[in-house]
Amino acid sequence: MSKPMTKTQLIAALAEELAADKKTAGAALDAVVAIITREVSAGGAVTLPGVGKIYCRERPERMVRNPQTGEQMKKDADKVVKMTIAKALKDSVNG
């Protein structure tokens, strides 16, 4: 498995794909991240066509175990960000 693409590498690839400079590509990437963050934080979801859907899900209060001590403790309800991968992306990886 190769190393994940860094933000700098992603901006460079985006700039090349758009035939734009890196500053413009970086601003576009930052704008997309800001929009996704704002929408998911507000309880909504964002669908990236061909990639997947990013959404926030609430987890109920539950019992968890401290791995160091083995002690059971109650963890409060919280929210977690999830992503469902699009079928087109799954098929391109497996096909």
State the CATH number of the domain containing residue 83: 4.10.520.10
Question: In order along the chain (95 residues), what is the average pLDDT of each group of 10 residues?
Answer: 91 94 95 96 94 95 93 94 94 90
Question: 52-59 and 62-65: which strand pairing?
Answer: unpaired
Tell me which residue range forms the domain holding 93.
45-95
Amino acid letter, residue 33:
V
Do residues 63 and 83 share a domain? yes
Same domain for 53 and 88, yes or no, is yes
User: Could you give the CA distance from residue 13 to residue 78 in angstroms, rounded to a whole number?
Assistant: 36
The pTM (predicted TM-score) of the whole model is 0.79
Cβ neighbours around 30 below 10 Å, total: 12
Of 45, 57, 53, 55, which is closest to residue 85 (Cα–Cα)? Answer: 53
Q: Please check whether residues 93 and 62 belong to one and the same domain.
A: yes
**d(Cα 16, Cα 82) in Å, to the nearest integer?**
30
Q: Do 20 and 51 belong to one domain?
A: no
